[in-house]
Amino acid sequence: MCGIAGFINYAGTDIKEGEHTLNRMLSRIQHRGPDETGLYLSPKACIGNVRLSIIDLSGGQQPMATVDGTKWIAYNGEVFNYPELRSELISLGHKFKTKSDTEVVLHLYEEYGDKCLSRLNGQFAFAIYDQKSEELFLARDRVGIRPLYYHHNGNRLVFGSEIKSVFEYPGIERQLSPQGLQQIFTFWTTLTPNTIFEGIKELSPGHYLKFINGKVETKSYWNLSFAKKNGMFKGSIDEAAEDLRYLFNDAVKLRLRADVQVAAYLSGGLDSSVTTSFIKSIRPDVLNTFSIGFADKTYDETKFQKEVSSYLNTNHNSITVFDADIPNLISKVIWHTEVPVLRTSPLPMMKLSGLVRENGIKVVITGEGADEILGGYNIFKETVIRNFWARQSKSKIRPALLKKLYPYIPQIADASPAMLRMFFGYQLENTASPVYSHLLRWNNSSRILNHLSADMKQHTAIKDPIGEYANTIEDAVSGYSPLEKAQYIETNVFMSGYLLSSQGDRMAMGNSVEGRYPFLDHRIIEFAATLPDEYKLNGLNEKYILKYMMRGKLPQSVLKRPKQAYRAPIATALLKNSTGMVEEMLSEKRLKESGVFNPETVGRLIEKIKKGAMPSEVENMTVIGVLSTHLLIKQFIDDFEYLDYRHIRNGVVRNKVKK
């Protein structure tokens, strides 16, 4: 895995100045690629790469050129089917100088243009500059595993794997986007191409961008699409399980391709246990597994992690997260997320990836994606129950089913029927809404907006983010079942925008570790989208086909264990162990200086929690949201300074090409 950055300016760039700027941009993301650095420099375009060497360790330096030297690529990612593609290209007359997947992607683009993207099985973001046409081509993988941001201003386009890299380009303003902030405090993430910063765009998953003569054109090459009646899988559950087993085995096998050691995350839940089981069946030798434990037993799954590790005979490594770690980690985490967060879940992931790196490992396979594509989340069950309840909206028995979903949230587990109705009854009968499944969640999250300052409210009140998003997907989800609609939203919004970013790529790459996701092989996603609902969510039995497929392959305690959401200590732990930084970021002075939040309402909430009151889920999210927003402002707006790359990298560039 790597980091990429660059810019194209049709007005022309002094090469020496361009080199200095590009080096600063790459220095900002050196954590993504500490092994090697490379630059391509010309009067019109400068592109570069920092490399984490995983495939073809001795070759594969970037930027890399075609044989005729007219096309140059800077590439971040892995294309797992590159050997097969390489053989195909050789049969078509292409000649290769390396054994890297980077060169395969470049030749594939040379052969097929933007149509090459549909042939790639992997996780990637890359830039290709064509010297002849002076066109820049940017592309991102189907579900957004790897990030890519850009800024466009007239004849100039600046891009990078991370926003901090783009900000190293002179003259780009750093300013919070009220619309982006409103989306985060509603959806938990911005909606692409929006970001939290004005003027910075994110290339949407499954999209490519062309920039030529000052004009930006973006197009989609892949979308999540559930099968209508004609495309629905019509086989038995046994046949479906066998097809899934074949696809998943191949997806894991492909993701074991590396010239370095590959490890696995093992949470103790079903998804990571399945992944680890398949790895061991493919490679029975020693497998290192890594997990998080929590000192607070409310969140701890150590017992299950040890059980699965023993069952599968892995070399297990674990690390314990203490409440005091939360305030100590959050500054580093926000620097890498580059966006405010409403949960502390990314923090333990930062600590876990650090453990992986301390053990000398660069690549880890994880189980993310299974919940989204196979119906694993409680929000899917919640949707089914609310639809069932809506048919008899006055029923006192039907809403009681919701207690079973959240035994770990006391306010719900101990709630009276009247309280359940009050909490879960929001727009209960609006089942025709394309976003019915998420109306309750987003309504609760948006209550954080009540804590915005009067000035910030003026900038956000003109938008209806939920209504706008519902309108954008109405046609796309027409004809889908309630479960399919919920899966579509959860995959496109939460998974791409938060899970694979703030909790995935950013935490792993913050420690120079690459995550790989076999459940997100596009073939598995597309297959799962053809399955009948009951193969995924059977009654209230989540991921039914996955459990069916793994009968006899995992302990019964894992297969029958209820879904436990991954959670981490929140506001109470943060405030009880608060550091000087936390106190400063939540102080009345900081609240007034930022102008984002209402000092009175936020101050009352913080005092209430400090005095021992049990915060609600929304109040927890509010405290984390305020703190992380203030940290973001401090790091990226108030205290951000251009780097002097000579002091960071000693001016060393191992692969520099000037044209």
Residues taking part in catalysis: 2
User: How many C-alpha atoms does 377 have within 13 Å on its Cβ side?
Assistant: 23
The Cα-based distances of 5 to 34, 53, 126, 154, 475 in angstroms read: 15, 17, 9, 19, 36
Among all chains, which residue has been given the structure tokens 């992997």? 122
Phi, psi of 291 (to 5 degrees): -150, 165
Spell out where 155-295 has E strands: 156-160, 201-202, 207-212, 215-220, 262-265, 288-294
What is the torsion angle, in degrees rounded to the nearest 10, for the CA atoms of residue 153, residue 158, residue 160 and residue 166?
-70
Residue 225's nearest CA partner among 472, 525, 21 is 525
Q: Which residues have CB under 8 Å from 144's CB, separation 6+? A: 192, 204, 205, 206, 496, 497, 500, 501
Helix (H) or strand (E) holding 363, with range, is: strand 363-365
Assigned token pair, 491: 């995959």
Contact indicator for 131, 108 with CB cutoff of 8 Å: no
Task: Name the nearest CA neighbour of 344 among 92, 59, 571.
Answer: 571
Q: What is the 8-class DSSP label of residue 453?
A: -
How far apart are alpha carbons 311 and 586 in whole angstroms? 46
Q: How far is CA 174 from CA 153, 169, 628, in A?
A: 14, 11, 17
Question: Which uninterrupted H or E stretch holds 621?
Answer: helix 617-633
Q: Which residues, including other chains, have CB under 8 Å from residue 611's CB and lie 6 or more apart?
A: none
Say whether the peptide bond before residue 562 is cis (omega within 30 degrees of 0): no
Using DSSP, how many helices (H) and how many strands (E) does the chain show? 29, 18
- Beta-strand pair 149-153/156-160: antiparallel
Residue-wise over 514-538: b if at least 16 C-beta within 10 A, else e? Answer: bbbbbbbbbebbbbbbbbbbebbbb
**Token duo for residue 470:** 């519902």
Q: E strands, 10-114, where?
A: 36-41, 45-51, 64-65, 71-79
**Could you give the CA distance from residue 187 to residue 306 in angstroms, rounded to a whole number?**
35
List all residues 6 or more positions away from 132 whose beta carbon is below 8 Å from its beta carbon: 70
